Structure 1
């Protein structure tokens, strides 16, 4: 049970970190924007983040995944981070949280 709590706490720290990273073209963090598909933490505290971009031609295609990796790597307790980009499924506005839609005036 203690291991679960540690993983859960680590997961919460990672999500908090992700909510501090913004797409420079959209004033919403990448987590609420729906760019983060999955955060996986193994028993060795190694993290894999599956994410997408708003489009394959996104101007931050090089820098945003690197920023995610660098910032998550700084979370206390993480031993390694891998960020994988996918376009399956492609990002759409439907993936945005209600909070993000409200912030962008879409509700």
Structure 2
């Protein structure tokens, strides 16, 4: 398995605390690239630019990526274009959010 694929899998462990869904399923991760030395660059966004948990989410993404086998260094770059929309979520995220709403009184 390529380093990029392992990092994508690791990033599924980073949960957006406000939404309760991982950042990959939410569509917040736009790109993961790695060079031969294992230096990884992650390009991602947040649901809103003024997200109060931005530092926490970015730090978690960097930490889980750094713990991935084959990774040497990690750089996380926050971008705001393209702007995130709910249409970027995958079906699993949509289903998880729906089930949370249905179980909330």
- Under a length normalisation based on structure 1, what TM-score does the superposition of the two structures give? 0.86
**Residues 33-58 of structure 1: per-residue CA shift (max 9 Å, x gap):** 00000001112211000000000110
Partner-residue secondary structure (3-state), 2:64: helix
TM-score by length of 2: 0.87
Q: Which runs of 4+ in 1 moved over 4 A?
A: none
- Bigger strand fraction: 2
Aligned length: 99
Alpha-carbon shift at residue 10 of structure 1 (Å): 1.8
RMSD, aligned CA: 1.4
Give the structure 2 partner of residue 78 of structure 1.
71
Matched, 1:24 2:22: no
- Aligned counterpart, 1:90: 83
Q: Which residue in the other structure is 2:98 paired with?
A: 105
Counterparts of residues 4-83 of structure 1 (less than 5 Å): 8-83=1-76
